[in-house]
Structure 1
Amino acid sequence: MQTQRTQLISTTLGTNRELVSFHFGTPGAGEKVYVQASLHADETPAMLTAWQLKRRLSTLEADGRVRGEVVLVPVANPVGLSQHVLGQFLGRFEANSGHNFNRSFPMPQAEALVARVGTRWTRDPRENARLLRGAVREMLAESTARNEFESLRLTLLTLAADADVILDLHCSLEATLHLYTSPASWPAIEPLARYLGANGVLLATDSGGQSFDEIHTLLWNEVRAVLGEETPLAAPNIAVTVEHRGQRDVSYETAEHDADAIVEFLVRRGVIEGEAREMPPLLHPATPLAGSEQFVAPVSGVVVYRAQVGAFLHAGDAVFDIVDPLTDVVTTVTTKNDGVFYMRRAIRFAYAGAPMGRVSGATAFRTGVLVGA
């Protein structure tokens, strides 16, 4: 295992942070897999899973079983880790700018990348993929970060730019284990969903948020469109966001389970030598993110959930009540979808218009930006 420490730009006098990455295997020996955890810094279940994964990878490497390259960043957001206000941990947004740590990631433009490769494009799709990844790394190396926030983003992008597989580990507020990925990545990601026991898989080519995992697959699509059919490009980078349940679901047992599932996935891909165990059944078919029903509180009051997170609901089922203790009015919100109640709000008081939770659905009906802030 090699440890790499990248100094981030110091935003204020007397402060300095670093991003630590752990590198297993040999670059170029096989597929490169990039794994990062807790880009939203207050999503600690992902961090514990990454720690368990690091322990397993260290043992596997010592046994000579790592056939590809794995780059692991267990603490992907040291900036957000320092953001505590009056005892509250605020790791989703950067305090100086208000930017979401996992939205609007900047990547080189497709036209510029195609021009960078120039006359070196070939008729070999795999060689073209290699050339594209090299061009992305070159252009990222030429980028200049102006502050700590941009420095963090640039470092993460550089570590992941030439990876074949990208696993971005997160969690939700209160949730069952679920995944977000693209239709193009889903066939390759399905074994991971099975090993994890994912209770939902949400698919979108472009959710509108430009999140870390999504920009890598989107870039491939954009470059392919510029190149045209005469210049073939291999399958896009495989990328997925894994939501490791809810913020309070921090235990050795769940972290060990999830780390073991990731190892099985890597064994199945040939990144780790061995024979993968038989895949468990897929708990629920993948559904479009545009088909998920997002609940908004119609009124303010005390929230009483009627449905358990992870439950499969049918259209018309009660999801939650909102109780007004001043007027005695109880407002019940029901679902229009058949699907999994995969995440919900953690605070049991709602203001009118507050996001309350989501139920997956098989039929797409939403358009525009499909993810929240």
Structure 2
Amino acid sequence: MSHQVFSHTLPSATPGTQRVVKAHHFGELGSRPKIYLQAGLHADEWPGFLVLNTLIKKLIKADEKGLIKGEIIIVPVANPIGLGQNFHGYIPGRFAFSDGGGNFNRNWPQLGDKVERRIHEQVTGDIDQNIDLVRQAIRQELTALPENSELQGLRKTLLALSMDADEVIDLHCSGEACMHAYVAQEFEAYFTPLLGLMGADVALSELETGAHSFDETNASVWRHLKTHYAHLMPWGCRSLTLELRGENDISHDFAEQDASALMKYFIHRQVVEGKAPKIDSRQVTFYPLDAMDLVKAPVAGIACFNKSLGEAVEAGEVIGEVVDLMADDVMQSAYPLIARADGVFFARFQRRLVVCGESIAKIAGREHLAFREIGHLFED
């Protein structure tokens, strides 16, 4: 058996408190391919917790049969800091209360320049040797990262577990949504089998969002180096964010379905031994992230939608309305929510009391939208 559980203690934020990140390791250290998965970096997004709990059980059984051929690391609870932000029974786990606040999945350390300075005189024509060289430099730079706060310690810990992986899969969810994913343009073909197995018909594709999110950060060193060394520097890590439907889409049925799909994917990638799965990815469609319409609330009030998730919409079509509760004329209190793109209505707010100007619905479109700014494609 190769299954091991390691506990990583974070710096103590206040006297008498200490948080721990647990990582489940399967396979022999250094075996390839290596796949890393985590859930709950946004600590108010919980479907991934149950999915990875179910997946670990399946991997334990596979391990007992000697079927683990590569290395798999699973962090089932990636953000104990955010989970501790319990405010009268509500866990606002998307943003940090301390360390300057901010979105837990933004502005991760970018190591590309530093790694390049370490390796620039050692790159050769041997691609495998270059991969090892870069991974060693990444480990050195990760060791040098500060951990003077709890949040810094969390980021350093998660990156140390993930950045030498061949693949990084970061599990999230939306308020209410279809299964979908955010994928770098370079990885569209590579991750299509995963999306087909997971039933994600919608994938948002981008070159670089400017968010410096966790998944982007894991691939960013390689993207940076490829601009300098081209074919001498292959992708040493590919990553994506997988959105597991909506916040309340949590059940043993969903967890079993998703964990089984991930196991099939492991077999497909030959990290677990088994019969090759049949993969139907014909429904997977990639939409440019800069073509995604963020439908904003025109007023504060109660949002009502008349379109279902997964439905096709056209630009100019009304997908719902917001009712202004403070309007003097209640007969004229409904303001339409109008699509600005032809595409698929795939996500929306779970909360129905909305603030004026909030983005409360998402439509995956095919054509660039003038108001979408490259490099600033995510709203926190």
Instruction: Please classify the TM superposition score into its range, dividing by the shorter chain length.
Output: over 0.9
Q: Output the CA distance in 2 between the equivalents of 1:360 and 1:274.
A: 35
Runs of 4+ more than 4 Å apart = none
Asked if structure 2 preserves the Cα contact closer than 8 Å seen for 1:205 and 1:218, the reply is no
Which range is displaced more, 255-264 or 276-285?
Answer: 276-285
Structure 1 position 197 matched with structure 2 position 204: no
Equivalent runs, 1:150-299 vs 2, <5 Å: 150-225=152-227, 227-229=228-230, 232-299=232-299
Partner of 1:59: 61
Give the residue type in structure 1 aligned to 2:49.
Answer: M
Give the residue type in structure 2 aligned to 1:336.
Answer: R
Q: Secondary structure at 1:258's aligned position in 2?
A: helix
How far off its partner does 1:86 sit?
Answer: 2.0
Q: Output the CA distance in 1 between the equivalents of 2:18 and 2:324.
A: 48
Asked if structure 1 preserves the Cα contact closer than 8 Å seen for 2:167 and 2:238, the reply is yes
Asked if structure 1 preserves the Cα contact closer than 8 Å seen for 2:195 and 2:284, the reply is no
Partner of 1:349: 353
How far off its partner does 1:357 sit?
Answer: 1.0
Task: Give the counterpart of 2:71 among 59, 69, 72.
Answer: 69
How far off its partner does 1:212 sit?
Answer: 0.3
Partner of 1:363: 367
Asked if structure 2 preserves the Cα contact closer than 8 Å seen for 1:221 and 1:236, the reply is no
Task: Give the counterpart of 1:106 among 104, 109, 112.
Answer: 109
Asked if structure 2 preserves the Cα contact closer than 8 Å seen for 1:40 and 1:91, the reply is yes
Q: Output the CA distance in 2 between the equivalents of 1:282 and 1:89.
A: 38
Asked if structure 2 preserves the Cα contact closer than 8 Å seen for 1:32 and 1:164, the reply is yes
Q: Secondary structure at 1:52's aligned position in 2?
A: helix
Partner of 1:300: 300
Give the residue type in structure 1 aligned to 2:297.
Answer: A
Which range is displaced more, 10-19 or 313-322?
Answer: 313-322
Q: Secondary structure at 1:26's aligned position in 2?
A: coil
Q: 1:185 to 1:284 in 2, by over 3 A?
A: closer
Structure 1 position 95 matched with structure 2 position 102: no
Which range is displaced more, 350-359 or 15-24?
Answer: 350-359
How far off its partner does 1:118 sit?
Answer: 4.5
Asked if structure 2 preserves the Cα contact closer than 8 Å seen for 1:37 and 1:169, the reply is yes
How far off its partner does 1:292 sit?
Answer: 0.4
Asked if structure 2 preserves the Cα contact closer than 8 Å seen for 1:19 and 1:78, the reply is yes
Which range is displaced more, 236-245 or 65-74?
Answer: 236-245
Asked if structure 2 preserves the Cα contact closer than 8 Å seen for 1:206 and 1:218, the reply is no
How far off its partner does 1:100 sit?
Answer: 0.9
Asked if structure 2 preserves the Cα contact closer than 8 Å seen for 1:199 and 1:340, the reply is no
Asked if structure 2 preserves the Cα contact closer than 8 Å seen for 1:7 and 1:19, the reply is yes
Runs (5+) with no aligned partner, structure 2 = none
How far off its partner does 1:52 sit?
Answer: 0.8
Which range is displaced more, 300-309 or 216-225?
Answer: 216-225
How far off its partner does 1:73 sit?
Answer: 0.1
Q: Secondary structure at 1:190's aligned position in 2?
A: helix
Q: Output the CA distance in 1 between the equivalents of 2:31 and 2:161.
A: 17
Q: Deviations over 1:228-274 (max 9, x none)?
A: 44x71012521010100111111011111111111111111111111
Q: Secondary structure at 1:282's aligned position in 2?
A: coil
How far off its partner does 1:102 sit?
Answer: 0.6
Q: Secondary structure at 2:142's aligned position in 1?
A: helix
Q: Secondary structure at 1:184's aligned position in 2?
A: helix
Q: Output the CA distance in 1 between the equivalents of 2:92 and 2:308.
A: 26
Partner of 1:372: 379
Which range is displaced more, 288-297 or 308-317?
Answer: 308-317
Partner of 2:319: 319
How far off its partner does 1:295 sit?
Answer: 0.7
Give the residue type in structure 2 aligned to 1:359.
Answer: I
Q: Secondary structure at 1:181's aligned position in 2?
A: strand
How far off its partner does 1:185 sit?
Answer: 1.4
Asked if structure 2 preserves the Cα contact closer than 8 Å seen for 1:46 and 1:169, the reply is yes
Q: Secondary structure at 1:286's aligned position in 2?
A: strand
Asked if structure 1 preserves the Cα contact closer than 8 Å seen for 2:196 and 2:284, the reply is no
Give the residue type in structure 2 aligned to 1:98.
Answer: G
Identity of aligned residues (%): 33
Q: Deviations over 1:282-314 (max 9, x none)?
A: 324111111100111111222111111222223
Q: Output the CA distance in 1 between the equivalents of 2:160 and 2:110.
A: 10
Q: Secondary structure at 1:89's aligned position in 2?
A: coil
Structure 1 position 78 matched with structure 2 position 62: no
How far off its partner does 1:208 sit?
Answer: 1.3
Asked if structure 1 preserves the Cα contact closer than 8 Å seen for 2:295 and 2:338, the reply is no
Q: Output the CA distance in 2 between the equivalents of 1:33 and 1:220.
A: 16
Note the aligned Cα RMSD (angstroms). Answer: 1.4
Asked if structure 1 preserves the Cα contact closer than 8 Å seen for 2:110 and 2:220, the reply is no
Structure 1 position 11 matched with structure 2 position 18: no
Partner of 1:142: 144
Q: Deviations over 1:57-88 (max 9, x none)?
A: 11111111111000000000011111111221
